[in-house]
Structure 1
Amino acid sequence: MDDFLQTVALLRARYQRPPAFNLFSVLRSSSDEVRLHSRFLAFLLDPKATHHQGTTLLNLLLKRLGIENFDSESVTVEVEYQNIDILVRNLSGQALIIENKIYAGDQDEQLWRYHQRMHAEGYAEIWTTYLTLEGSEPTERSRKSLPVILLSYEAEIVSWLKDCVSLVAREPGVRESVFQYIELLQKLTSSDQSEIYMNKLKEQILLGENLFVIADINHAFNAVLADLQIDIWERMTAYQARQYPQLGKPEISATKEAVYAYYKKAKNSKYIGLTFPFTFMKGGVYIELNHRLYSGYYCDGEQFPEDRERLMALGRLIAPNTRSSGTLFWKFPKINVNLHTPTNEDLVLLRDPQTRELIAVSLIDDMHDLLQRAHQQFA
């Protein structure tokens, strides 16, 4: 066992390349759905864009999606049309909706509303796609009975981009942009290991009993991730009790059982956390997990539409330049790690107790700040 791990460590040191310069990471957060991912994808899909490939790149993706007889000659491509991340539509009454989810959660009836909106505008053929890092399913409350095409950055988008490279080879700026975007996606999906390193690693895994050891390590790795996440939740509740005891005890859905279920990929195991109901109106503040941790407001719009609208207005005051949507205000903490498929950088942060404490403190402070803003505005 020790020899195997030592060999793997040596292979990693020799063959695994360090992260290279990436213009996308410099200019934007790698998880910026709208201003990075949606805009760049829309650029490639737009036949009128300066990649000079006309409809070729769009047709490649349509083929990969299994969409036939789509009129790509009269296409317009828009970002954030009526809150739709990417909309590809034509004069033949056809529309392709691409809902782009890096880490954000679904809104109530979101995909259903987008489909109905385009239907009301006269589009007879509508395809709705749901783009995530790993091809995840949308929630039932978002799609309702709507058929949805699942699309993943890790598989379909990276493969499509690799097909695009040879087509844009004579456009050096576009070609290098596509190369760097592929590298960014591979980093986001933890698939950025070098081919030589992976081949050498596979050779080692197939030797002796190593394959069975790896299976045990995989189980242990998920258990370690669960323990690290549980530690963050426990640090949050301890810090809140010390720093803001006047808030009382939160409603806790991030139990040990829930966290372990999350890593076993049990159904409906996301969206666990801590909830602090308001005492002066309906709704409250919360800290929640959807692969990453964030804090925000909540309020049931069907039961309490007036209070929800008040919180919507407060969110617009807090962040007036954010995208317009039906989602109540929420934000990531200063240290923003992926707890589902952590990158190497995330793992370095997560294994450090001081960093876990900083994550916990940041989230509770952000939550308390949101609560104070609501109290000052409405109490």
Structure 2
Amino acid sequence: MSMVNLPPASASRVGLFGAMKHRDYRLLWFSGILCYHAMWIEIAGLGWIVLELTNSPWLVGVVGFCRMVPMPLLGMFVGVLTDRMPGKRLVVGGQLINIISSLILLALLWFDALQFWHIAVLSVSLGVGWTLDFPARRAIVMDIVGQSRLTNALIMDSSAFIISIMVGPIYAGLLLGISATATIGVVVIFYFLGFGVLQFVRATNGNIGNIRENPFLMIKEGFRHVLTNQLLLGVFLITVVANLFLFPFVSMTPVFARDVLGVGTVLFGILGAASGFGSLVGLVVLGALPDPKGPARVFAYGVILAMAIILLFTFSRVFFLSVALLFVAGLGTAGFASMQFPLVLKGAPESVRGRAMGVLMIGIGMGPIGVLITGATAELWGAPVAVAINCVLGLLMLFGLVGKFKIFRQSETRIPNDIK
């Protein structure tokens, strides 16, 4: 089979803000950054609320598990839906679920009736909302900007996500200093604003397949494409490792802040934002480079860098050193996060892109297992030991995958010609 080069990750050919020339992309981006703010304020806020309510790192991990478990359970079916119906409809449905769930959470706090099981159930509901949103939102991006500006558009979307990671915990830390009710109230406001802007996005229907086709056959076809494509399979496996062994440390941030570093809500917010600052800097660099190395290599080496730095972070007992280490880890995360979706969208045939994204969502959805194991280990031996074990195991697996898939060692990423 003949091969062609995957376009480089750089946005330089269309300008750093080239995708913003599209009116509908600008609106989708602005809607996204508002909703992402809501999500990260809520994640950071609920983590601290659960820790204060239960004093249990294990239950903090359980909430993270509940939040992420819809992805592996529903991700493939959502991918099928993305190939069968307009993506905007799925994004609207997902954000409606998020608004309703947040309103219920706010009401429980307002009437001082919130219990742990409420948070667990509503975390599942919020997870369902974002499971609907993530693949469909990126399919809309593809329909609006096309192939030529896809990488640029997804780097811009990643920047919105990472800005929210950066400022969301800071907002949460400041708001928690007022009250938990104020924190979730701001979450609701951000969700409503993002939902309102979304209504003005004019998205095409893209490549909607035969709606009468058997959905289980569609799922089988999606898995077949991923398992027989070295690029897609490699991206999927590295995504699994990252979500099992790297990203569960996020759910332990309240534990590191309060129990390891001995700081309060405001400094907790700064600690939670540090990796976001690093990721934002990393994205700006990636967007400005005239000719960065192959996007698959940036993707793989980025997650290796992040995991190695988080391993060092587990040994720190000095607050500002911990912040600096998380900043550097964020630089690595930028390479991983910004290349992940472009590699899948450009590496999959148009007719199965939604299902390929669905398979990727299953990989991302391995996070709940990692969070649950990390929480249990932290309960026994403490958060630093739990996260350090994760990083050592994850690095061993990542080195093995980079060794097996040469595509992650090449300076140019190549995809099958017939995909184009």
Relative to total residues, which structure has the larger strand share, 1 or 2? 1
TM-score (norm 1): 0.29
Relative to total residues, which structure has the larger helix share, 1 or 2? 2
TM-score (norm 2): 0.27
| Structure with greater Cα Rg | 1
Q: Which has the higher contact order (CA 8 A, sep 6+)?
A: 2
